[in-house]
Amino acid sequence: MGRPAFDFLDFLHAARQRYWQVLPLSPTGCGDSPYQSVSAFAGNPYFIDPGILCEQGLLLPGELPKQRCEEPDFYDLYITRPILFRKAFARADRREIAAFCETQRDWLPEYALFSAIKDSEGSRPWYEWEDPALRLREPTALAVARADFAEDILYHSFLQMHFFRQWEALRAYAARLRVQIIGDMPLYVPYDSVEVWKDSELYQLDENRAPTRVAGCPPDYFSEDGQWWGNALYRWEAHETTGFDWWQRRLIAANRLYDVVRLDHFRGISAYWSIPADAPTAAYGRWEEGPGMKLIAALKEACPGCRIIAEDLGVQSPELSTLLAQSGFPGMRLIQFAFGSDPGNYHLPHNHDANCVVYTATHDNATMMQWVAEVNPDELGHAVDYLGLNAKEGLPFGFARGVLGSAADMAIIPWQDYLGLGAEARMNLPNTMGWWRYRAQGSDFTEKLAKRIGYYTEMFGRG
């Protein structure tokens, strides 16, 4: 969140952009995925810029890490960042940290305790911790842990203080440039999270706190066996009994971080795919009814001014369409899903209405140039004819033009698609491990590219 991020905002401003959409900012978990986070409220310490800590006197110039590599080495960060941040923590004002903790007391004490215990357990998931009393949150064991790990609890609170301070400074700069930030709120939390450890009664667990059923989705475009996510499913009746209090607090927290919130896997609020925890694949799951408008109404009550985008992709149904219409939230359209079928395909731009957000693709899809290389010729031919793609303009900007020319109120182009990158720049392949590694380079942000993006943006009145 240091100089490169501010430079990127300058680029967006020069390119006449109004929105910057980001993936979840929470700490990454299994497979480095931001959708498998140990906390729904915390920020990812890897985003903290050591240079800013140096400017604040918490690090010395000689302690700063070397120039970052083109591709992030998450294991290296896992090893080296705690050593660096411990040095900064040793120079911190403890009263300042305590004051910050007081402003975040509804989530931070439990997160910091969870993180401290996890550190002492070699990062093992909470359900494998050595002490069963800590796994089961027995009050005496928790009190002892808070005393024994007091310094580590303060350290994790220190990290969160600097994450939020640096993010708030970046967001304030974005606001001065009139760039709004779209954040992402995953529907589920992983089994190994402070939320499941703390409030096990809100999840589908047995008497030993092991999942009985887990999240995923049925066989689809991405996987013939379906997708096994493994997240503990909610006990929606328990959430309803609390008036969806956890959900309300979560949305309020997200609304403090972002100008617009993308609600991931909106489909699961209508009906969700429930897989037996011992099933061999996700194909053995079944549809179960979600909380529907009861949850939506609770969210609107808690945060009436919050702007929400519903990620309504996946298996469609009349019930999902009805829920989206009742919510009033804009849904999502993908140009990559538009071709190779009949003219009624709702992803085709001529079928878009104003209340939707249109993309070339999302982080889960192939980049557009990878799609071009791999799609069948008939589908590509349909795209070429429909969008009037030509060699002079180039395919990346031809697809972008198709999105920007939509009637949708908002149009988002992934960075890789503006650069015309292929499979090497894909962000994620659902239901597989080892992704989330693409990183933009400062040399990509050229004045020429900013002018060209700005030209197309202004052409369709979106600047």
Q: What residues act catalytically?
A: 264, 311, 364
Q: What is the separation, in whole angstroms, between the first and last Cα of the chain?
A: 25
* Helix 293-302 vs helix 318-327: crossing angle, to nearest 10: 20
Alpha-carbon span 52 to 41, nearest angstrom: 23
Q: Is the dihedral of CA 185, 188, 192, 198 positive or negative?
A: positive
Alpha-carbon span 231 to 120, nearest angstrom: 24
Alpha-carbon span 463 to 457, nearest angstrom: 5
Burial 329-364 (b: 16+ CB within 10 A, else e): bbbbbbbbbbbeeeeeeebbbeebeeebbbbbbbbb
DSSP one-letter string for 221-264:
SS-TT-EEEEEEPB-HHHHHHTTSHHHHHHHHHHHHH-SEEEET
Give the other-Cβ count within 10 Å of 19's Cβ. 17
Give the other-Cβ count within 10 Å of 374's Cβ. 11
CA distances from 451 to 154, 414, 418, 427 (A): 47, 17, 12, 25
Q: Amino acid identity of 379?
A: E
Half-sphere exposure of 59 (CA within 13 A, CB side): 21
Alpha-carbon span 453 to 463, nearest angstrom: 10
Order of strands, edge to edge, in the sheet holding 410-412?
331-334, 356-359, 410-412
Beta pairing, strands 356-359 & 180-185: unpaired
Q: Residues with Cβ < 8 Å from 338, sequence gap 6 or more?
A: 345, 347, 348, 349, 383, 386
Contact status, residue 101 vs residue 31, Cβ threshold 8 Å: no
